[in-house]
Structure 1
Amino acid sequence: MTEPIATRFPVPPLDKLPEDIRERILAVQEKSGFVPNVFLAFAYRPDEFRAFFAYHDALMEKDSGLSKAEREMIVVATSAANQCHYCVIAHGAILRIRAKDPLIADQIAVNYRKADITPRQRAMLDFAMKVSREASTISEADFGALKAHGFSDDDIWDIAAIAAFFALSNRMANFTAMRPNDEFYMMGRLPK
C-alpha cells in the first residue's frame, strides 16, 4: 500500500481548490499521467503554491546557458546532500529523462564527484553544493573557477538560485513528510 502524500498536513480535495491551482494540477496530471505529490502537498497553502511554482518555473524552464538536464543535476546533488527523499527521487526521474541516461541520477545522488559528468558539470555542482551547504564561504575564487569553465554571470546566478530554491523545497518536503510518487522510481530507467 502506498504511503500518504504528506503525513503532517491535510491534502485539500481537488474540487475545493482555487480554479487556477486545480487547472495547473489537472494539466500536470494530463501530461505525466499522475499528479506529483508536491503539487497536492503545497495546495494546502494556495498563495504559497502559486509563488513556489512561479519561481520553480522561472528557474527550471527557461532557456539559458544551463541545459535542463544540468539544472536537474543541481537539484539531485543538493537534494541528496540535504537528505530530501522526495526531491532526489522525483528530480532523479526528471534528470534521467532529460539526460537520456538511466544511470546519471543515481550516480549524482550518491557521489557526483564520481559520476559520469564533464569537468564543467563537476565545477557547476561543486559551486551548487557550496551554495547549498556553506554559502557564507563563497569567494571571488569560486566565480573564477566557474568562469574558467565558460559559465556566464547569468549562468552562475542560475546555479546559485536553483541550489537555494531547492534548499527551501528540500526543507519543506522533509518538514511535511512528503513522499515521492511510486511512478517516479522507474521513470527514465528503461527505453520506451
Structure 2
Amino acid sequence: MTTRSGTPTDLIDTLLGIEPGSPLARLRARRPEATHHTQGSYDALFASAVPATTVTTTERFAAALRVARLHGDQPLAEHYAGQLLGADGVTKELVTAVEDVRPLRPATEPAAPEPLSGQGRLRAILAHADLLVLRPAAATPADLDALAEAGLGAAEIITVSQLIAYVSFQVRLLAGLALIRGDERSAPGPVRGPLEAPQTGFTQEQLGWTPWLEPVAAGDVTDEQRAVLPGQRLQSPYFRLLALDPEVLGERTATDNGIFYTRGGLPRQERELAATVTSRVNGCVFCASVHSRFASQLSKRDGDVQRILDEGVDTPLDDRWRAITDIATALTTTPPTAGHAHVAALRELDLDDLDILDAVQAAAFFAWANRLMLSLGDPEPPTQP
C-alpha cells in the first residue's frame, strides 16, 4: 500500500528495512499512536490530496531534501531527492542545487546555492531551512519577514516551519531506531549545530509566549481548526497560530500524545527529562520551562532539574538520569551523534527497548517542537506570579 505520492505506507519502516514481525516492528507496534501519526504527519505535509496552503510540491520536497542533507542523512536525502525529481518541471540541476550544502558560512552570506538565484521564493524557504536546522535559537521576526517578502502568506510560513521541524524529527527517530536494532552506522560528520543557543535565562516558572505572526482569533476559528484546538488550546496563541495548517497540527498533536502519554515503558518524568534536556541544548527557554516543570513535579527532583537548567546538560546526575541525558543530548546535535555506547549505557541500567524507544522519541520530538517555538515567537515573563 502506498500514499498518493508513491511513498510506502510507513516511510520509517521502509527506509530502515523493518520487516513485518521483526523485533523492531514489534517494538514500534507497542507505541501504535506515535508510529501511526508519525507517518500521518508525513502524509499531511507531503501527500495530502488537498494541501491546506499553497506551498507547492516542489517547495515541500526541496525543503525536506535540504534538511536531510544538512543532517547528513543519506537514505532520507535520497528519498526526498527522488520525490523532488518526480515533481512537475523539476530538473536534475535543481535537485543538485538544493543538495549543495556548503560549509558553514556567516549568516550575512546567501544560504542557498547560486543556481537558485532566480528563484527567490524557493531560495527564501531553503535559507529558512538552514536557519532552523543549524541556528534555531537565532531566529527573529526578520526571518519571517524575509519569507513574507518572498511571497509566502502566514499559513504557508506555518506549513514550511512545520515541514522543516518535522524532518528534523524524522532524522533523529531514524537514528535512534537504528541504534536500538544495533545497526552499524557510519560515523556522523562534524557537529554543525545547534549554534547560538542561549546558556542563561532558563527557569521552571510558567512563561508567556508572544507570536511573531497573527494567529487566528479564537472567535474566528473554522470547524476544522476548532477540532485540533481542544480545551485550553483554543486560548493559546501558539496553537492558534499552528492551526493555520490544521491538518498538520492535528497529526503533530496525535504524535506528541503517542510519545508522552502512554502506559508502560519509560516513566513519564523521564520522558519529560529528555524533553527538558533537548530544549536546554537547543536553547528553547519556553519549552524548557514547561517540561522541566513537569519533570520536577513528577519526579520530585526539583534540584536535579534546576541544575540542568542552570549549569547545562553536563551537570552531575545519578547514573540513570546521566544516561538518559546523554542520549537526549547526542540526538539533539546536528548531525545526531548518538551511538551504540549510549544505548548500551541504558541497557546496563536495566532499561529495556521500550524504555529506550520512549527516550529516543521524546528527544526526537523536541527537535520538532523547539524549532517551531523558537522560530515563531518569543517567551515572555508572566504578568502575575
Which TM-score tier does this pair reach, normalised by the shorter chain?
Answer: 0.7 to 0.9
1:152 equivalent in alignment to 2:367 = no
Match of 1:93 among 293, 296, 310: 293
Match of 1:114 among 299, 304, 315: 315
User: Shift of the alpha carbon at 1:91?
Assistant: 1.6
Match of 2:217 among 4, 13, 22: 13
8 Å contact kept, 1:127–1:142: yes
The worse-fitting range, judged by mean Cα deviation, of 77-86 and 10-19 is: 10-19
Partner of 1:190: none
Aligned-residue CA RMSD (Å): 2.9
TM-score normalised over the length of structure 1: 0.77
Deviations 1:78-136 (A, max 9, x none): 10110112201222222232223443432222324435x53112101101111111554
Higher relative contact order structure (alpha carbons within 8 Å, sequence separation ≥ 6): 1
Measure, in 2, the Cα distance between the counterparts of 1:104 and 1:35: 32
Structure 1 residues 141 and 24 mapped into 2: Cα distance closer, same or farther (>3 Å)? same
> Percentage identity across aligned positions?
21
Structure 1 residues 175 and 181 mapped into 2: Cα distance closer, same or farther (>3 Å)? same
Structure 1 residues 113 and 63 mapped into 2: Cα distance closer, same or farther (>3 Å)? farther
Measure, in 2, the Cα distance between the counterparts of 1:138 and 1:4: 32
SS of residue matched to 1:179: strand
8 Å contact kept, 1:37–1:179: no
Matches within 5 A, 1:18-167: 18-19=222-223, 21-22=225-226, 25=229, 27-28=231-232, 35-110=235-310, 111-114=312-315, 117-133=317-333, 136-167=336-367
SS of residue matched to 1:12: coil
TM-score normalised over the length of structure 2: 0.41
Partner letter of residue 182 of structure 1?
A: P
User: Shift of the alpha carbon at 1:154?
Assistant: 1.7
SS of residue matched to 1:137: coil
Deviations 1:162-181 (A, max 9, x none): 11110111111111124367
Structure 1 residues 163 and 178 mapped into 2: Cα distance closer, same or farther (>3 Å)? same
Rg bigger for which structure?
Answer: 2
Alignment length, in residue pairs?
178
For structure 1, list consecutive stretches of 5 or more residues without a partner in the other structure. Answer: 187-192
8 Å contact kept, 1:37–1:178: no
SS of residue matched to 1:182: coil
SS of residue matched to 2:210: coil
8 Å contact kept, 1:76–1:87: yes
For structure 2, list consecutive stretches of 5 or more residues without a partner in the other structure. Answer: 1-206
